[in-house]
Chain A
Amino acid sequence: MINLTINGKAVQAPEGSTILEAARSAGIYIPTLCYDEAVEVYGACGLCVVEAEGIPKLLRSCSAKVSEGMVVNTESERVVRSRKIAMELLMSAHDGDCVAPCQLNCPARTDCQGYVGLIANGEYDAALKLIKNKIALPASIGRVCPHPCEKACRRKNVEEPINIAQIKAFAADMDLKSDSYIPEVQEATGKKVAVIGGGPAGLTAAYYLTIMGHSVTVYDMMDKMGGMLRYGIPQYRLPKEVLDKEIAIIEKTGVKFVNNVKLGVDFTIKSLKEENDAVIVAVGAWKSSSMRTKGEELDGVYGGIDFLRGVIKGNAPEIGDKVAICGGGNTAMDACRTAVRLGAKEVYVVYRRTRNEMPADKLEIDEAEEEGVIYKFLTNPLSFNGENGKVKSVTLQVMELGEPDASGRRRPVPVEGKTEEIAVDSVILAIGQKLVTDDVQELELNERGNIIADTDFFTTNIDGVFAIGDATNRGASIAIEAIGEADRCAKAVDAYLNCQELDTRVPYISKRDESTIDYSDREKQSRLTPKVLAPEVRNKNFDEVSLGFTEEEAQAEAKRCLECGCREYYKCKLLKVAQRYDINPERFKGEMPQKYTRDENAFIERNTSKCILCGLCVRSCREVMDIHAIGLMGRGFKTDVSPAFALPLNETKCNNCGLCVQLCPTGSLTEKFNLEKQVPLDEKYTEEFVEIDGKKSSVLVSRYNGKILRAIPNDEISRNSGLSREELQNLLK
């Protein structure tokens, strides 16, 4: 035996063993990407380098042998620097998306590709569970979310994005129709958390903290939970019955609700903090913003959300026949369409830019117009004119578009001296909403009048008091934004309650350069949208406009997904090594070595653009299996792995033994899932045994939600069995 020291630890290793072997047997981790016991050492990746005292060069530990008295450091500054640059270089030439852009653009990081893919395969339960990892109210959010996911969806470059929101609503509705999924709650921690505000943010935080085993109570000033989802969104867009059912599931999970109690009246933040281990302030923004326009104080001028809340609570204000709504967002749309349904004859939407700049959802804009709403684009209220204290008309300044502003939208500028006047019975100001600051006097506020909360930990100026949602920092935003904060806040609160440190660093992931992606091989297929009630029917009542996707529609739409995110994300060795080092491959950004090409047979998919040329596939195919289906072609930067003559895998001697996919450290060679539509899923491989020709043989099996997703032969018997994958999977069942 040889005695050596690794990282200060005395290690013994048999003579002739490598430093890597010695380190591994002593439980010391050294990263490798091209090493595997099954094949000869290769030395390409250079990640296994270590420093040994007295040796000037870095040693590749996969090949350098141990010697008596050797003093090895596997994590010295020089070693880490070398590995870091190696990973930066490697990732600069790795053309792949770890995670789909839809998921990355969702403020709550919902696994859109995952659930869309599962729905395409008809796996609705699994899809719902995946959604509920991030969204506690998916049927409601699916209906109202302005879906930033769809803005990032790359299918838009082919024709139109996937209808992700409606697919989500479909899955959630399916769940509500049957035995709804109630998540398993972890063992009680004995910790108590109070949440102030039962809107999307508060409910979400409460739901996830409850699942973590904490005892959570939500306090809300209104009759029922739901916040803006209930009191700010009209019935025709989100039926309250749907919301009720979803809230009931949250309650069933174990969240306690207390309604009709008001902060500052019935309790204070401090008083709650005394009774609880942590308090989350999620009070929202309930005051309509002012336009600072002359005449706002007149009777008949209403705030947008005040108006909507009144209608929902059954005490709609008097609006008359002619209504002008000021604003171009979704609240303006909700207000104008509600006004139509209340029977107003002339409903105007006054907006200072044009249709193209309207922040509201395009579908809303179109549907409102179908319902008879009249748009007054490029106009801005100069004054609201009244008679006897009651609004009678609006003077509009005519505008035109000038230079783009900071947001990139063209700035509206007044056309000197050009005005217009419209007669109205009422005006609704839908230009934004604000926190009612009187309620949160105990907390420190910023200059906008919002609660100052840490953007990573959501802490406020009071220890143990956290704040999220519309009431904080930059103010009101969309529900999914608040939900994302709530999810992260739940983790922060959990860490706080357990006195643990929370790592909020965003781990590195690989992203493709959007500008280099070629879609020309994709067949065009139009986006599906759910059927809606006819305009002349729906403008007279508050029935839900959208009829939702049928099962066929949802599946067909889900199948359009381009599968951007990598199927191997959850088990990618390359990514795990990359995330160990603080890498910034951007600084070496340059040409990608390989085009994004896909080659597949029934079980294996090859994607050359993700290949890191570790050579494990080629070497195992040659050294272990003696099949030589693939080889290294070309040289230098443009080296690639391919069958001879660039033949498809199907025309080679490949026998689908699966060794290459098993050894591939990234997503370049993958075994396909046993699903029609391929989906990246957080699966786990476990070793199982089958009998092949009377011999016990090892197989690595991945199951998800009880279903076998993939199975890889794990010894010579199964590799050489000649069994097709279906046959092998049948043996496993």
Chain B
Amino acid sequence: MEKRTVDLSLLDGVLEEYAQVKGSLITILQNTQDIYGYLPREAIELISEKTGIATSEIMGVGTFYTQFRFEPVGKYLIMLCQGTACHVNSSELILQTIKDELGIDDGETTEDGLFSLKCVACLGCCSLSPVMMINEDTYGSLTPDKTKKILRELREASK
């Protein structure tokens, strides 16, 4: 993992609240990711120092759960649902469309840092399948064309 310079003081509040509360590691990591968008190595080292949990344990937990990332993500995080209903309703086509449109694979970020793609477990909006979430917004009943349109609009909007 690459070392980056991040402002560790942003973690003060989180660590003050949870560092000494047993069983809080996942909560601390979730808060940390909310702050930085990912889990920077320095932050993990600081968490280790303050909680007394070894870095090997923290990384063990961090790499176990799919929610956690160790690299910064793009401005728009596309979470494409991999649920059964979406599968039955051809989410594979949507995945291909996103890949073609953005030129990235699952887990990758576009070179301009605008989009990251992550295939995720069922988002629970099965009736709208196929579904994707981009940051906080959910988009349902996707078709390849609709997907392209959404992505292009976001790209335009960020210019």
Chain A interface (Cβ < 8 Å from any Cβ of B): 622, 628-635, 643-646, 652
Contact = CB atoms under 8 A, between A and B. Distances in A.
B59 A633 contact: yes
A644 B59 contact: yes
A622 B58 CA distance: 13
B1 A633 contact: no
Interface string B43-57: 010000000001111
B60 interface: yes
A644 B64 contact: no
Contacts of B63: 633-635
B1 A646 contact: yes
Interface of B: 1, 41, 44, 54-60, 63-64
Contact of B56 (A630, A634, A635): A630
Nearest to B55: A644
Contacts of A644: 44, 54-56, 58-59
B16 to A, nearest CB: 24
B1 A628 contact: no
**SS class of chain B's interface: helix, strand, loop or mixed?**
helix
A670 to B, nearest CB: 20
A631 B60 contact: yes
A631 B59 contact: yes
A633 B41 contact: no
Contact of B57 (A631, A634, A646): A631
A631 B54 contact: yes
A644 B57 CA distance: 8
21 contacts: A622-B57, A628-B56, A629-B56, A630-B56, A631-B54, A631-B56, A631-B59, A631-B60, A633-B60, A633-B63, A634-B63, A634-B64, A644-B55, A644-B56, A644-B58, A644-B59, A645-B1, A645-B41, A645-B44, A645-B55, A645-B59
Nearest to A653: B54
Contacts of B44: 644-645
Nearest to B54: A628
A229 to B, nearest CB: 59
Contacts of A652: 56
Counting chain A CB atoms within 10 Å of each CB, the highest count among B44, B55, B60, B64 belongs to B60
A635 B55 contact: no
A153 B63 CA distance: 39
Contacts of B58: 644
Kindly name the residue among B44, B56, B58 whose own CB sees the greatest number of chain A CB atoms within 10 A.
Answer: B56
A630 B54 CA distance: 9
Contacts of B55: 628, 644-645
Nearest to A632: B60
Given A645-B1, A646-B1, A628 B59 contact: no
Nearest to A628: B54
B121 to A, nearest CB: 13
B70 to A, nearest CB: 9
A644 B54 CA distance: 9
Contacts of A628: 54-57
Contacts of A632: 60, 64
Interface centre among A633, A644, A646 (most CB of B within 10 A): A644
Nearest to B62: A633
Most buried by B among A622, A630, A632: A632
Contacts of B60: 631-633
A134 B75 CA distance: 67
A353 to B, nearest CB: 50
Contacts of B41: 645
B120 to A, nearest CB: 15
A89 B66 CA distance: 25
A549 B112 CA distance: 61
A496 to B, nearest CB: 57
B64 A643 contact: no
Nearest to A644: B55
Would you list the 10 A-B pairs with minimal beta carbon distance, nearest first? A631-B56, A628-B54, A644-B55, A631-B60, A644-B59, A644-B56, A645-B1, A634-B63, A633-B63, A635-B64
